[in-house]
């Protein structure tokens, strides 16, 4: 049964619209859903965000929105430090309308939607967050100011995406990693991929190793294995079917790779789930 995080535990009370949860390090490595929504900024580190069964690599500066119906967890490759702004959907904003349309532009269920903030923009967003949750006004004035600051934060994040310079190497690499996540089951021509993002193959390889701790080939294999792990737990597909679907040439190679990473064979994993 998937654990569901409730408003009552993560908000001061059920009449509060916005709440702040900062994790250092992130410890939600068990699959869960929420009765609230989340706007997540990756403060430090990197790891895999597995959402609705799909692994998506996240790193410092990434920003995304988690809806009520999303099921996710973090499978860490490094140490993640996250800033989570929690939104209580049981209450309406008093002064804001249509804000979800903006938030859905960075919906976390698709890698291509993820935003990325430069260090300067991230610092500005952190100041806004501090103002939202630590400003001293009260009553109606408090609510109006808090909603105004939240709107400024969201529009700043959206604006940062539209203004990202394609000449910025880190932004190109952010988009390249998004592409890999969406196409991790396919064979990758690394030289062609580097050319597609106007990078050298050496730069591509070095960056992937720096941010994930893995070579490009091993990182791609990790994405496939995490996807396979979810399918073993949540579907009735045979182990051979999972292996082929997740890009492995044969089930023997899949079994060997799976045990090396997770410490158990795919068949043992499935038996553990069935208990």
Q: pLDDT digits over 127-155, tens only? A: 999 999 987 666 777 888 999 999 999 99
| pLDDT, tens only, 41-75 | 999 888 888 899 888 888 888 999 999 989 998 87
pLDDT < 70: residue spans in the chain: 1, 24-29, 76-78, 136-138, 162-167, 273-275
Q: Token digits for 11?
A: 């908000």
Residues of the chain within CATH 1.10.10.60 domain(s) are: 171-274
- Eight-state DSSP code of residue 111: G
- Choose which CATH entry (1.10.10.60, 1.50.10.10, 2.60.120.10, 3.30.360.10) describes domain 171-274: 1.10.10.60
pTM of the model: 0.79
Q: Token digits for 237?
A: 């597909």
Helix (H, G, I), strand (E, B) or coil at 173: helix
Q: What is the torsional sign of CA 63, 67, 70, 74?
A: positive
Residues of the chain within CATH 2.60.120.280 domain(s) are: 3-163
What distance in Å separates the CA atoms of residue 146 and residue 137, rounded to the nearest whole number?
A: 9
- Choose which CATH entry (3.30.70.1400, 2.40.128.20, 2.60.120.280, 3.40.50.2300) describes domain 3-163: 2.60.120.280
Helix (H, G, I), strand (E, B) or coil at 32: strand
């Amino acid at each position: 049964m998937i654990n569901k995080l409730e408003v009552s535990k993560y908000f001061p009370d059920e009449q509060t619209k916005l709440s702040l949860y900062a994790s250092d390090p992130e410890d939600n490595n068990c699959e869960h859903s929420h009765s609230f929504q989340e706007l997540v900024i990756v403060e430090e580190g990197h790891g895999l965000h597995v959402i609705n069964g799909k692994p998506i690599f996240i790193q410092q500066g990434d920003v995304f929105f988690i809806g009520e119906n999303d099921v996710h967890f973090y499978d860490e490759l490094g140490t993640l430090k996250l800033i989570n702004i929690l939104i209580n959907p049981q209450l309406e904003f008093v002064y804001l309308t249509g804000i979800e349309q903006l938030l859905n532009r960075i919906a976390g269920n698709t890698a291509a939607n993820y935003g990325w903030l430069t260090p300067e923009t991230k610092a500005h967003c952190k100041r806004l967050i501090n103002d939202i949750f630590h400003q001293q006004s009260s009553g109606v004035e408090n609510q109006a100011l808090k909603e105004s600051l939240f709107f400024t934060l969201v529009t700043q994040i959206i604006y940062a995406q539209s203004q990202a310079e394609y000449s910025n190497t880190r932004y190109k690499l952010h988009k390249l990693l998004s592409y890999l996540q969406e196409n991790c089951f396919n064979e990758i021509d690394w030289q062609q991929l580097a050319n597609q993002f106007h990078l050298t193959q050496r730069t591509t390889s070095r960056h992937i190793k720096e941010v994930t701790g893995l070579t490009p080939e091993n990182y791609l294999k990790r994405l496939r294995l995490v996807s396979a792990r979810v399918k073993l737990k949540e579907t009735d597909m045979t182990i051979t079917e999972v292996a082929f679907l997740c890009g492995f040439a044969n089930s023997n190679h899949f079994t060997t790779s799976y045990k090396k990473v997770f410490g158990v064979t795919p068949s043992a994993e499935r038996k553990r789930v069935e208990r």
